[in-house]
Amino acid sequence: MGRVDGKVVLISGGARGMGAEEVGLFGREGANVVFGDILDDLGRQVEEEQRAAGHDCTYTHLDVTSESDWQAIVALAEARYGRLDALVNNAGISISVVGDTSEADWDRVMDVNSKGVFLGTKTAIPAMRRAGGGSIVNISSIAGMTGAWSRSHPYNASKGAVRLFTKATAIQYAAEGIRANSVHPGPIITPMSSATYDDPEVAAQRLALIPLGRRAHPIEVAYGVLYLASDEASFVTGAELVIDGGCIAQ
């Protein structure tokens, strides 16, 4: 028996990186997954691979900054699989600039990382009500808890916003059986972090700061997301799950 058997789960940014890993894990654990991204070719490739592995999942285009895209993907989940039980707000971007962050950079990072989580939550809540409850898992970062671990100020700010937006969501919807929690990954091996770690000098400096001495594989975060989305976490809401090899414990 799977850990999320029969659940319908919506994942944003599922075409690659941690999102794609979560699409696979939730499928193996018995969920029907609907996932979206702006990278349609990659997303369809993931969908094909998962279907070949026997998981009935559905990919569709989703720009998380578009409310109408969110409405369409939530409607698709309900039409195809009958309900929506969980939402993983995973899509995110980082623009690695500090002093020379332009206003456009700031707006783009806040739009994708923060507004995207708001729009996804707003659109999923009515569907979760219809399902009798639900679980929202928002992917923040350790950069949403401290001023370090990112070379991008808007990234820290946008992930900090996700952290508190999650708690406000948890409190507001607890009475309706809708839980909301945030996940705070440290350095994970995905296309997003490769820009930083491809530079051997920067990589050596960063690795020296990680108590476990390495970056994590996406599956090591996906298991935490699975737990929070599942009924195993039925009394967990408004919490922060740090998966960072000890980075912020120091």
Q: Which residues are catalytic?
A: 155
Nearer to ligand NAD, 4 or 139 (CB): 139
Helix (H) / strand (E) containing 23: helix 17-28
Binding to ligand NAD (CB under 6 A) within 54-73 occurs at 62-65
Contact 84, 77 (CB under 8 A): yes
Per DSSP bridges, beta strands 8-12 and 32-37 are parallel
Q: Is 90 one of the binding residues for ligand NAD (CB under 6 A)?
A: yes
Burial (CB count within 10 angstroms: exposed 0-12, middle 13-18, buried 19+), residue 113: buried
Among 24-32, 36-44, 205-213, 232-240, which window interacts with ligand NAD (CB under 6 A)?
36-44
Nearer to ligand NAD, 17 or 134 (CB): 17
Among 9-17, 73-81, 172-180, 206-214, which window interacts with ligand NAD (CB under 6 A)?
9-17
CB of 237 to ligand NAD, least distance (A): 20
Q: Is 182 one of the binding residues for ligand NAD (CB under 6 A)?
A: no
CA distance 126 to 106: 30
DSSP lists the bridge partners of residue 182 as: 138, 240
Contact 156, 144 (CB under 8 A): yes
Q: Is 119 one of the binding residues for ligand NAD (CB under 6 A)?
A: no
CB of 65 to ligand NAD, least distance (A): 5
Among 33-41, 50-58, 119-127, 206-214, which window interacts with ligand NAD (CB under 6 A)?
33-41
Q: Is 121 one of the binding residues for ligand NAD (CB under 6 A)?
A: no
Contact 182, 163 (CB under 8 A): yes
- 3-class DSSP state of 166: helix
Q: Dihedral sign, CA of 211, 217, 221, 224?
A: negative
Binding to ligand NAD (CB under 6 A) within 191-250 occurs at 191-193
Which residues lie closer than 8 Å to 155 by C-beta, 6 or more apart? 94, 95, 109, 113, 141, 143
Nearer to ligand NAD, 120 or 134 (CB): 120
Site string for ligand NAD, 132-171 (x = CB under 6 A): -------x-x------------------------------
Q: Which residues bind ligand NAD (CB under 6 A)?
A: 12-13, 15-19, 37-39, 62-65, 90-93, 112, 139, 141, 185, 187-188, 190-193
